[in-house]
Amino acid sequence: MIHETLTQLPVAEVLRRAKAFFPERVPHNAAFLEREGASFAVFRGQGGEELALAVVPADGATRVRASSSFFDQAIGRFFSTLPASDQRPGAA
């Protein structure tokens, strides 16, 4: 499933928070950093399940997209920790 949100945080801060959140804040569903770049991070969890996160600037906000078939609840929890943007996902 693909999840998306907008935040007022810069790209680097979203990625920093993700790298701290997924290995530690959801212990029974932890996911550990496998690959990263300037605007993405890929985590791997139990059973080899993958969580991919892409973060890009978007018209005065930062768009965060996450994809996973296993970590949906953890993604929702992570998104709830990000300060919301005044924009809505999908708004132009």
- pLDDT tops 70 at residue 34: yes
Q: What DSSP string describes 7-39?
A: ESS-HHHHHHHHHHHHHHTSGGG-EEEEEE-SS
How many domains is the chain built from?
Answer: 1
Closest CA to 47 of 25, 35, 30: 30
Q: Is residue 55 part of a domain?
A: yes
Q: What's the pTM value of the predicted model, to 2 decimals? A: 0.89
User: Which tokens go with 61?
Assistant: 């906000």
Residue 87, in any domain of the structure: no
**CATH code (residue 74):** 3.30.530.20
Span of 3-7, 12-16, 26-30, 59-63 with lowest mean pLDDT: 26-30
Show the domain range for 17: 2-80
